[in-house]
């Protein structure tokens, strides 16, 4: 990261005011997910933690974008660059390690299915890949080492679309921004129910 980007990022973090309460909520959101994956009885709803994490991340990203737009320093390219630097190194390390492991342990038919999920994860559409595979005849989730990337796919799709929507609203319909965001929240909740 160059010095100017790093300085700008640090300045923005300071201006946004660090919120330990939000970090605490994020930690609490992760707990049911971890306990669900550990197989503990009573934690079959680990997805609720993912939902809470989505809400918190959505709030933080919306606030970050809105604050930068209000200050006149928002850049779509810089926003995407920061997301790529934050997500892609770990993602591609997981994809590489999973591919090596799958090559050793999977039968050819399972490796073929794995390849579909690998492509979906690399293209940030694994949520659609796994949704298409879901159903009565779906294979066991134990044979889907990249199943967890469905949530990353949703997050990355949000990062691609939402800043552009906010930018358009900020430029052309600023006074409708609160109403549109409220409508998006209500529609999202209704679709999830």
pLDDT in tens, 157-187: 999 999 999 999 988 988 998 999 899 889 9
The per-residue pLDDT for 16 is: 59
Check whether residue 190 and residue 176 sit in a common domain: yes
Domain boundary among 41, 74, 107: 74
Listed in sequence order, the DSSP H helices in the chain are 3-16, 20-37, 47-70, 76-105, 108-122, 126-133, 149-172, 177-192
Question: Which of 12, 1, 19, 22 minimizes the C-alpha distance to 69?
Answer: 12
The Cα–Cα gap between 74 and 68 comes to 5
The per-residue pLDDT for 78 is: 95
**Range scoring the smallest mean pLDDT among 11-15, 43-47, 69-73:** 11-15
Total domains present in the chain: 2
pTM of the model: 0.78
Check whether residue 70 and residue 148 sit in a common domain: no
Question: Can you give the residue range of the structural domain that contains 87?
Answer: 75-193
23-49 exposure pattern, b = at least 16 Cβ within 10 A, e = fewer: eebeeebeebbebbeeeeeebeebeeb
Domain boundary among 74, 97, 121: 74
Check whether residue 64 and residue 97 sit in a common domain: no
The per-residue pLDDT for 83 is: 92
């Amino acid at each position: 990261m160059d010095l100017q980007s790093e300085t700008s990022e640090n300045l923005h973090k300071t201006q946004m005011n660090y919120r330990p309460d939000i970090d605490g909520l994020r930690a609490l959101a992760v707990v049911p997910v971890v306990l669900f994956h550990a197989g503990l009885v009573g934690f079959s709803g680990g997805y609720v933690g993912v939902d809470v994490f989505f809400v918190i991340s959505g709030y933080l990203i919306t606030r970050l974008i809105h604050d930068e737009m209000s200050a006149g320093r928002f850049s779509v390219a810089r926003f995407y660059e920061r997301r790529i630097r934050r997500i892609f190194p770990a993602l591609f390390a997981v994809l590489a390690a999973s591919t090596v492991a799958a090559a050793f342990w999977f039968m050819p038919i399972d490796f073929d299915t794995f390849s579909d999920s690998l492509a979906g994860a690399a293209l940030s559409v694994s949520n659609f890949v796994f949704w298409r595979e879901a159903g009565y005849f779906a294979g066991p989730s134990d044979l889907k080492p990249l199943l967890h990337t469905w949530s990353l796919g949703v997050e990355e799709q949000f990062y691609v679309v939402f800043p552009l929507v906010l930018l358009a609203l900020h430029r052309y319909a600023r006074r409708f921004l609160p109403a549109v965001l409220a409508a998006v929240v209500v529609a999202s909740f209704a679709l999830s129910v």
